[in-house]
Amino acid sequence: MYEAAILGASGYVGGELLRLLLGHPEIRVKKAYSRRYADKPVHYVHPHLRGFYRGLRFERFDSEVSPDADIVFNALPHGEGIHITARLVEQGIRIVDLSADFRLKDPEKYKVWYGFEHPYPDLLEKFVYGLPELNSEELRGARLIASPGCNATASILAAAPLIKEAIIDLQTIIIDVKVGSSEAGRTPYEGSHHPEREGTIRPYQAWGHRHLEEFLQEARKLTSRGLRASMIPHAVSSIRGALASVHSWLTRDLDELDLWKVYARFYRGRPFIRIVYSSTQKLPDTKNVVGSNYADVSFAKENYTGRVSGFTALDNLVKGAAGQAIQALNISLGLREEAGLEVPPLKPA
């Protein structure tokens, strides 16, 4: 049995880690850390977990002291845990970092997308980008995992088969992501606060979203050709869920059956990818994945123009964060990839 500690356990992603790990056969949560709620029981912040973590209280984290755990999940906001993670690496602890602090391999990109000079550029290459559908071999035995962002995950999963097969114009890839308010975390600010998002659909960071660099970094592994892409996310009034629509143009004539084969071939054997292609439901819907680690993936061709679109619907807090982190960790530990994650979606949601 592995023992885990969670940094930032009082946030939405921390709460999902606590919820999902309850059902994990090989991992138990030993420590839950939160500065703001130190000494409070876990159910004080996560009342839906009342009765499941009897005796477990939030603690303050002393970064100079080992957390006395086999695994540490860092669910702190971007930048807040970067020095903590570096010290944990020195202690030899297995780490799953759910922030953006170690996702990008090129330290120069942190200046461009996050506005700071990365203090530990030597560590970036040591972290494996934890997207199981692309990097399962790299994840085997990995002790340092950088868990992807939800927008990046949805976009990559939608487009990866098309890029791998080189059947689209790789210089013209347009990414549109719709995402719920929980993406912004527990602490509200103007624009992310749910009362400001309810009943609205609006673009944000339309001049360039930081998850684009994650998309490009991973997509480049699939092709030797040059790539050019653009991403615009949209705030919508749902609480959970992300839907990515990735558009480009076919470079050769393919019908829908051909496209289905492309997606089926790429995702063969991937337990959490469901290709949505049937007479009753051809396109993904976030309502069919909420609460689960499943990603529903599909495609559509516009015959008149030759435009092709890949789609992914996922729960941004599960497959886009906590669930995917556990999935990647399972692979790294040599456990069943599905361990602790075989939870069906909620319906209705």
Residues 6+ away with beta carbon under 8 Å from 102:
85, 123, 124, 127, 144, 146
- 43: helix, strand or coil: helix
Query: CA 141, CA 195: separation in Å to the nearest integer?
Result: 44
Which tokens belong to 212? 């684009």
Annotated binding residue at 57?
no
**DSSP symbol at 292:** S
Phi, psi of 73 (to 5 degrees): -95, 120
**Residue 35 is labelled as binding a ligand:** yes
- 292 marked as binding residue: no
Q: Are 15 and 26 in contact (CB under 8 A)?
A: no
Place of tokens 């949560």: 29
Token duo for residue 310: 């890949």
Is 81 annotated to bind a ligand? Reply is no
In angstroms, the CA 206 to CA 323 distance is: 28
Residue 135 marked in a binding site: no
Is 298 known as a binding-site position? no
Do the annotations mark residue 12 as ligand-binding?
yes
| Two structure tokens written together for 65 | 């002291």
The set of catalytic residues is 150
Distances (CA, A) of 51 to 14, 24, 44, 57, 84: 17, 17, 11, 12, 31
Element (H, E) at 17: helix 12-21
Rounded to whole angstroms, how far apart are CA atoms 156 and 328? 16
Q: How far apart are CA 242 and CA 37, in angstroms?
A: 29
Q: What's the 3-state SS for 183-217? A: HHCCCCCCCCCHHHHCCCEEECCCCCCCHHHHHHH
Binding-site residue ranges: 10-13, 34-36, 316
Binding-site residue ranges for NADP(+): 10-13, 34-36, 316
